[in-house]
Structure formats: structure tokens, C-alpha cells
Amino acid sequence: MAYVYIVECRDKTLYTGWTTDIERRVNQHNKGEGAKYTRARRPVVLKYFEEFDTNGEAMKRECEIKKLSRQDKIKLFDYN
């Protein structure tokens, strides 16, 4: 399984990524071991995720989500 996720950072910005283990990845972000973007914006809170059968599908969806406006990303968690 692969996942696309959105976390909300301490400064209320949103970060989108993909992983094969959501719990591990969010913990990495919160320990400062994740993406450079989130290191200075800890803690992060998981707001949304989608599950996929392959890494490729998750990466494709990550690209789609990253193109969305902040408002459209927030709509994703409001519907979930």
C-alpha cells in the first residue's frame, strides 16, 4: 500500500507528501527527520490521507493535490 497525505504545520501551512507508512512518516516529520519544509514548522498534524495500491498511483495523486489551492485542499479534509 502507498498513501498520499496532508499535514498541517504549526504555522497553519499545509504539506503534502506520499509514503508507504503514514504513522512512521508523520513521526519522522515531528522528530525533524522529515522534509526540510516541515523541520522548522513542527509539530505537524495529519489532516488527510488517501490509500493506493502502488507507489506510482500515490505519486501521481500527490502531484495533483500539490496543484490545488489551499482552499481546495481544505475541502478534501472537510469531505473526509
pLDDT in tens, 36-47: 999 999 999 999
Quote the CA–CA distance of 10 and 55 in Å, as a whole number.
28
Question: 51 - beta bridge partners?
Answer: 3
What pLDDT score was predicted for residue 34? 83
Q: How far is CA 22 from CA 5, 53, 69, 71, in A?
A: 8, 14, 23, 23
DSSP run (H or E) holding 65: helix 55-66
53: three-class secondary structure by DSSP: coil
What pLDDT score was predicted for residue 30? 97
Give the domain CATH number at 60.
3.40.1440.10
Verdict on whether the full-model pTM lies above 0.85: yes
What residue numbers bound the domain in which 21 lies? 2-79
What is the band of 78 on the pLDDT scale with cuts at 50, 70, 90? confident
For the chain, helix, strand, coil in percent to 5 are 45, 25, 30
Number of domains in the chain: 1
